Amino acid sequence: MDHFEWVVIGGGPAGFESALNLAGRGMKVAIVEKRELGGVCLNRGCIPTKVMISAAKRIERLKSTKRYGISMAEASFSYPTLKRHQERVVKGLRKGLEQRIREAGITIIDGEANLSGQGLVVVTDNNGRKTCSLTFEKVVIASGTAPIIPSPWMGVEGVVSSEDFWTLDDLPRDILIVGGGAIGCEYASALSSLGYNITLVEQMDRVLFTEEPETSEAVSRSLRNGGVRLLTGKRINDIKKTETGLMIEAGSEFFSSSLVVCCMGRVREKAPAGVDLTGVASLKLDDRTWIAGDIAPGPKLAHKAAYDADIIVDHALGRHTEPRYDNIPMAVFTSPEVGRAGLTEEEAKARFEVESRTMNLGQMGKAAADSVSRGFLKIVIDSKSRRVLGMTIVGHEASELSGYASLVLHNEMTVDDLGRIVFPHPTLGEIFRETAREFK
């Protein structure tokens, strides 16, 4: 029976980052994954979505080519071609990841991990048959989450989760998306740009309801302008398979669709046998057991999972740092994109005396030159210390710009300090300086 200093359960971002960092510090590490290395993020989440969104962005950009003197016949779109490219991209990245893991000297084990008493992992195959056992000193459990599908809809033909969506080789013209969170909004935005007829149903009174109201408004307006039928404050009561497709009942309304994609949040995957995660509020379960990623506290985001890995490695090296999730940035890859780090104004008001300023991206020279005027920056500060508490940016490449918010928060900058930072001209980033200077 092989012995490891660390066994990592789960090959997603929390798992592989933990494994790579621990192995990089000279430790003997095994990683156990029951599906593919890279987890949901690489195989059925972030990456495939971004390939689809890249296609959508290209089509979006075509809309403003004419004024730049570029003429072309209308473009046509083939989903199967995109799908093949998406698979190539995912496969390429997975191969690269696998190579990095092997080169780090990490043992990769296929199968499902079960904790069996002190320091013992029993690995089983798809049929529950034991394939091997490992002993360990410490373990990281990063078993991840799965998408929610309400049980009455499970198995209904044409109803898929946001993950199973990627098993489809082609798409029908009419698609209903349930859930206006980050994933639902991304799917609706990209698919409508690609020419599909999209209905998006959200039970709250606005999409992206954990974000600033201005964010929800900007994304809703853009979805509607792009042809999405957006229904908020509506709950789906029933989905029935009929001869022609699916019949959906929402409140007192009925409508039909060929495909329903559920983007209704995520729940913890079944924890490895032998682990109880009920009520867990920290990364450390006991002296030998850590959890990381989606199953741990904090936002369910790939980059937060990598952050958890850092905390665990710190502890492994005797540095006891506490995780701080309040500066973790988030991004929604709609058109326009959304980025945020830190508190929304409403969250901030509960704890501070706050001030905020909002500036439209259209005021930036770069936005005019590049026809990317949609969107805004909102900065929320503590009026007393003038420290920046949170920033939301909506607009072209906002996902890239949201890292600025992380940096500003990490360095505990005041808004006055931010107003003195020099950004290159002409860039959209100048809006950070300009908005900061609006706080008199």
Residues 271-330 that bind its own copies (CB under 8 A): 301-304, 306-307, 310, 327-330
Give which of 244, 184, 240 is closest to 209, Cα–Cα: 184
Q: Which is nearer to its own copies, 41 or 113 (CB)?
A: 41
Note whether 196 binds its own copies by CB under 8 A.
no
CA-CA distance, 240 to 243, in Å (whole number)?
10
Whether residue 297 contacts residue 328, with contact meaning beta carbons closer than 8 Å, is answered with no
Note whether 67 binds its own copies by CB under 8 A.
yes
Note whether 217 binds its own copies by CB under 8 A.
no
Omega cis (within 30) before 297: no
Mask 93-132, x = binds its own copies (CB under 8 A)?
Answer: x--x------------------------------------
Mask 13-32, x = binds its own copies (CB under 8 A)?
Answer: x-------------------
β-pair partners for 2: 134
- Residue 387 burial by CB count (10 A; 0-12/13-18/19+): exposed, middle or buried? middle
Note whether 51 binds its own copies by CB under 8 A.
yes
Backbone angles phi, psi at 93, to 5 degrees: -70, -35
CA-CA distance, 20 to 101, in Å (whole number)?
6
- Which of 2, 3, 58, 254 binds its own copies (CB under 8 A)? It is 58
Q: Which is nearer to its own copies, 80 or 233 (CB)?
A: 80
CB of 82 to its own copies, least distance (A): 4
- Which of 187, 290, 404, 439 binds its own copies (CB under 8 A)? It is 404
Binding-site size, its own copies (CB under 8 A): 86
Choose one: 86-94, 108-116, 183-191, 352-360; the region binding its own copies (CB under 8 A): 86-94
Q: Which is nearer to its own copies, 37 or 248 (CB)?
A: 37
Note whether 368 binds its own copies by CB under 8 A.
yes
- Which of 16, 79, 166, 196 binds its own copies (CB under 8 A)? It is 79
Q: Which is nearer to its own copies, 232 or 327 (CB)?
A: 327
Choose one: 50-58, 127-135, 140-148, 278-286; the region binding its own copies (CB under 8 A): 50-58
Q: Which is nearer to its own copies, 351 or 420 (CB)?
A: 420
Put residue 252 in one of left, alpha, beta given phi > 0 → left and psi -120 to 50 → alpha. Answer: alpha
Give which of 13, 221, 209, 16 is closest to 102, Cα–Cα: 16
Whether residue 107 contacts residue 4, with contact meaning beta carbons closer than 8 Å, is answered with yes
Residue 140 DSSP code: E
Note whether 69 binds its own copies by CB under 8 A.
yes
- Which of 199, 399, 414, 435 binds its own copies (CB under 8 A)? It is 399
Note whether 65 binds its own copies by CB under 8 A.
yes
Note whether 422 binds its own copies by CB under 8 A.
yes
CB of 85 to its own copies, least distance (A): 5
Which residue, chain included where needed, has tokens 């502890």? 315
CA-CA distance, 36 to 89, in Å (whole number)?
14
End-to-end CA distance of the chain: 67
Note whether 360 binds its own copies by CB under 8 A.
no
Give, for 197, the enclosing helix (H) or strand (E). strand 197-202
- Which of 174, 210, 370, 387 binds its own copies (CB under 8 A)? It is 370
- Which of 28, 89, 146, 360 binds its own copies (CB under 8 A)? It is 89
Whether residue 344 contacts residue 330, with contact meaning beta carbons closer than 8 Å, is answered with no
β-pair partners for 316: none
CB of 71 to its own copies, least distance (A): 5
CA-CA distance, 366 to 434, in Å (whole number)?
13
Helix (H, G, I), strand (E, B) or coil at 28: coil
Choose one: 75-83, 107-115, 204-212, 242-250; the region binding its own copies (CB under 8 A): 75-83
CA-CA distance, 231 to 87, in Å (whole number)?
32
CB of 255 to its own copies, least distance (A): 28
CB of 285 to its own copies, least distance (A): 23
Whether residue 12 contacts residue 54, with contact meaning beta carbons closer than 8 Å, is answered with no
Note whether 350 binds its own copies by CB under 8 A.
no
3-state secondary structure 250-299: ECCEEEEECEEEECCCEEECCCCCCCCCCCCCCCEEECCEEECHHHCCCC
CB of 170 to its own copies, least distance (A): 11
CB of 434 to its own copies, least distance (A): 10
Q: Which is nearer to its own copies, 107 or 373 (CB)?
A: 373
Rounded to the nearest 5 degrees, what angle is found at the Cα of 278, between the Cα atoms of 135 and 11?
A: 45
